[in-house]
Structure 1
Amino acid sequence: MVQNKEVFTTADAIVKELVRAGVTTAYGVVSIHNMPIYDAIQREGSIHLVCARGESGAVNMADGHARSTGELGVVITSTGTGAGNAAGSLIEAWSAGVPLLHITGEVASPYLGTGKGYIHECKDQLQMLSGTCKEAYQLKVPGQAAGFIRKAITEAFQYPTGPISVEIPIDYQSAIIEDTQIVDSNDFTKAKKDSFVIPKSVTDMVRDAKRPVLWVGNGALLSGASEEIIQLAEWLRTPVITSQSAKGIIPEDHEQSIGHFASYKETKEFLEEADLLISVGVRFRSNETSGWTVKIPNHHISIDVDYLAANRNYETTYALVGDTKIVVGELLKELTENPVRGASKEYLEEVKDLRNTLRENLRSTLGPYEEILDSMRANLEDDTIFVRDVTVPANVWGSRLFETYQPRHSIHASGGGIGQGLPTAIGAQIANRDKRVVLVAGDGGFMVNLGELSTAAQEKLPMIILLFDDSGYGVIRNIQDAAYGRQVGVDLNSPDFVQLGRAMGVESTSVHSTKEFNQALNRASTSDELSLIVVDMKEVGPMAKPFGGPPGVASSFEPKKITN
């Protein structure tokens, strides 16, 4: 029976709240357990529905949309297996603190928790989702749908930000309810105007430092603190180390930008001579600190919105808890009122030398991939959004030497899972149709969500996909070589990716040399078509120095006794 247009349902209330929140795109897979919501979106008419080929990819798309814009990412999945398929990608969104709303169905309310075998039933879906998200909720009263969704969206943006899952029993989605008008004073789209009082002892410690270091992470990016970070760095004459997630928060051609090199020997040595570390929104992840073997100065000022950031991985002298944009801005204001500062111009020269040394040393290990790196920077626009799956080229040089000049223009898996690059890039491209998104992926990870290539083709996206094919899990292969001197489970038979791409309507080509790569990328960068360039790594040749895995990883596999 066709729904009466004058009837207002729970599904309509959900869509109304999405529109109020400024949502223009939602990603997902349609199912019998979300059809009423899909139909309500279709009837409302202002939200573009992107049809993913799997729930995992759909979440990654919403994730990429949110990371590249700062807007809410929205994904709609089915219940049971559909929600389960979404779980891994929700963990990635949680790892990166992405403001994302995951809407999933549930079995009809009379059958919740009965184990009767209602189609798509899950043993305890809410508990599963709770373990993958910031929070997970189940709608209990259909009439509360508007407030329920508004609360979920607000929580996704409350610090620390993260994905919220909401499950709506299928019979509730079509329930006729009152179109209640909710009026509140919350507006998560507007920056907070709160002030922050910087203790004089903190200001004195910063001003007195002769060798300060700034270490900036995702929390600074999420708060929009790029301008404040640049100003603080320039006033202090300090190097700026960035986490992988914070690439681009300071332009990477800036003379004080060290970038994602925290675990490198030269940076470690520089830090050991520093007298103050100011960390801004940094988690100090294990892979970015060589398993927390990086030593930091005795004086450490942590700036973070999370109370639990203090002493989580490194001891903290002062923990300034608040919105990082506001706190850094207030610190800068206090510092610049007095022109006296400790760091000298000679120290700034050391910073420049460190920056150059790190890049020169890494470049010397790349072999033919140095030419590929230079070709990418020469052919691609400065505002390119650069997405990377977990693969050797991304780990070695993509996340370090390919320069990013703006915040939110660099995206990489915070949780370290492979295969999420393609759908994440799709979401970023849909959200930024005025820019070019370029994906770097390996053959192993690319196959995980290969079906989403068809989604990209259907959406007619101008993405460029650089697929580095070494017929295996290259990162694990090299880690195994370093740890055991042998390999297992890493060799894969690659399909003919060019034929696969063409079968999906994608302009596809393979390259076997750096010259061919440059020619193919030049053609792709001047086209508005979706392009796939497959790099035959065996033909291009090996790196000058094999990648042995992230610093500190190989030692984790050395046989040792563990005492309780």
Structure 2
Amino acid sequence: MATCGELLVQLLEAYGVDLVFGIPGVHTVELYRGLPMTRIRHVTPRHEQGAGFMADGYARVSGKPGVCFIITGPGMTNILTAMGQAYADSVPMLVISSVNRTEELAMGDGRLHELPSQRNLVAGVAAFSHTLLRPEQLPQVLARAFAIFRSGRPRPVHIEIPIDVITMQVAARDIVAPRNIPLAPAPRRAELERAVAWLRDAKSPLMVLGGGAADAAEAARSLAEHLDAPVIHTANAKGILPPGHPLRAGENMAYPPIHQAIREADVVLAVGSEFGETEMYPDPKPFVFDGKLIRIDIDPEQLVRGFGADLPIVADAGAALAEINRALGIAATAANGDTPGARRAAAIRQAAKKHWWPAVHRHQKIIEAVSAALPDMILVGDSAEHVYALNQSYEAPRPRSYFSSSTGYGTLGYGLPAGLGAKLAAPDRPVVVLAGDGGLQFTIGELAAAVEAEVPLIVLLWNNDGYGEIKNYMVGRQIQPIGVDIFTPDFQTIAKGFGWEARRPDSYAALGAEMKSAAARNRPTIIELRADDPWIA
């Protein structure tokens, strides 16, 4: 016999979960009873929002769902913002919370942490929210969650367990095995044949790759090289084509040259992209397609949002691209810099570069020094000036190596905890957080969590003494700046007080050297750049 809480951690381990983020409370301690009997590691954030952001960063790098144990009531309201970010960016996250006793639900008696309905509260930021009423239901509900994570559009799932159900006894031996999860959908033969025919006959094809294609990089690259098609990456697709690949045509689909190239292509193949407005910062425009549009997405609803496709295909990106490549007879390919497609891509790229605003040039120069020091790093961005800039210009070394909260939901405070989760997912790679002074203060308590978890994270802090992006936005619209010139603390002192190293380089050479030193340490480091530093061009 085992309690429902003990059964839960056994099942999570059976599904491959090796890490849980959470802050124990009186309503969740029974979820922890069985943890010492598993190989699952527990990391304690300093706020439930931090737990959600850590799970998000872990999931984006590992491809596995990030898991959180969350207390009833305030714990759930605290994590909602992180769930909203994960929902918007299709990130798998499993949030397991307690809730008041079964007989107390919705009674309004003023119980500890009581809400009228946690499920209603969570509904808008979860694929589903379920109240577990019997321990025997747990295997089925967890199987539903992992089916969404592995076979559908991954998004957060919330399972709440009343505190009396957590301690119920159950015969565990018959139900600890995970259920078989179905494969993600593959394209139908008729759709495949039509897509292949269009692509084979295309004279000026173009590909748009989104985050949904991140795990299909090899197939996407082979197809692009076979078709000689320029490739537009969204922010979450960076790294699918390696840096310097001749078919890279750019990122920001609002730039007129990229927008025009999409319009003029005779066939556009879009894979795993929602064409969201955050991919067209700061001036989103409606798309026009003069040629045929093929869209591949695992979510059927996404294929009919915004604008229609000439050929919508509901399928896993990897399965669909593999089938297309097989039908086209694509074997191993090699990038060639002197092809019509490569020349088209170069022209698009150079024309788009003329639309970079000054901050893009400034931060591109900074990141070139960082990349030279740490060529295989993972960059995790908050919503900050250098993140919006690098969305336009940065070329990631491989997939799942660049992401931020500037896409989708656009929350502040994401970078530090998400970077911590990313480093836990990839302990052998340097992880650099791009944070601004305003955003870092949202979740600054997670500096302690990084030290406690022994995570040697690097934070590259851009300090402009306030909410600089919003201030510029207000000035640009002739609004007197109010509320944006905030008090800025001494981050060097704060970092050291939390047990971090803290540095302020005085040149690009010093920046690179500090990055190398930080990556070699066994403790986290803040490297602070001030916007008024004279050496920053």
Shorter-normalised TM range: over 0.9
Pair 1:389 & 2:382 matched = yes
Counterpart in 1 of 2:151?
158
Q: Among residues 430, 440, 456, which one is paired with 2:434 in the alignment?
A: 440
Displacement of 1:185: 8.6
Counterpart in 2 of 1:24?
18
Change (3 A) 1:359 1:462: farther
Counterpart in 1 of 2:126?
133
Q: Among residues 383, 386, 399, which one is paired with 1:407 in the alignment?
A: 399
CA contact (8 A) 1:443 1:470 kept: yes
Query: Per-residue CA shift, 1:447-485, capped at 9, x if unaligned?
Result: 000000111111121211101000111221122122235
- Cα distance in 1 for partners of 2:495, 2:502 equals 6
**Larger mean Cα displacement after TM superposition, 64-73 or 148-157:** 148-157
Percent pairwise identity: 27
Query: Per-residue CA shift, 1:116-171, capped at 9, x if unaligned?
Result: 01101012111111121111000112333333333333333331111100001111
- Cα distance in 1 for partners of 2:330, 2:76 equals 54
CA contact (8 A) 1:226 1:407 kept: yes
Displacement of 1:177: 1.6
Counterpart in 1 of 2:67?
74
> Aligned runs of 1:152-551 on 2, under 5 Å?
152-182=145-175, 186-188=179-181, 196-197=188-189, 198-221=191-214, 224-289=215-280, 290-336=283-329, 345-359=339-353, 362=356, 366=360, 368-382=362-376, 384-396=377-389, 398-413=390-405, 414-540=408-534
TM-score of the pair, normalised by structure 1: 0.88
Q: Among residues 97, 105, 109, which one is paired with 1:112 in the alignment?
A: 105
> What SS does the aligned partner of 1:417 have?
coil
CA contact (8 A) 2:187 2:313 kept: no
**Larger mean Cα displacement after TM superposition, 210-219 or 344-353:** 344-353
- Cα distance in 2 for partners of 1:362, 1:507 equals 34
Displacement of 1:218: 1.6
RMSD of aligned C-alpha atoms?
Answer: 2.3
| Corresponding letter in the other structure for 1:521 | M
Displacement of 1:365: 5.7
CA contact (8 A) 1:440 1:468 kept: yes
Counterpart in 1 of 2:8?
14
- Cα distance in 2 for partners of 1:106, 1:456 equals 29
CA contact (8 A) 1:8 1:177 kept: yes
Query: Per-residue CA shift, 1:222-245, capped at 9, x if unaligned?
Result: xx2111110110011111111111
- Cα distance in 2 for partners of 1:142, 1:366 equals 53
CA contact (8 A) 2:268 2:294 kept: yes
| Corresponding letter in the other structure for 1:426 | L
> What SS does the aligned partner of 2:133 have?
coil
**Larger mean Cα displacement after TM superposition, 405-414 or 52-61:** 405-414
Query: Per-residue CA shift, 1:162-216, capped at 9, x if unaligned?
Result: 110000111111111221523889544x965957424543322222221111001
Q: How many residues align?
A: 526
Displacement of 1:523: 2.6
Counterpart in 2 of 1:554?
none
Change (3 A) 1:131 1:542: same
- Cα distance in 2 for partners of 1:439, 1:46 equals 28
- Structure 2 residue ranges without an equivalent (≥5): 332-337
CA contact (8 A) 2:378 2:402 kept: yes
TM-score of the pair, normalised by structure 2: 0.92
- Cα distance in 1 for partners of 2:177, 2:285 equals 44
CA contact (8 A) 2:360 2:392 kept: no
Change (3 A) 1:51 1:183: closer
Change (3 A) 1:184 1:108: closer
CA contact (8 A) 1:147 1:182 kept: no
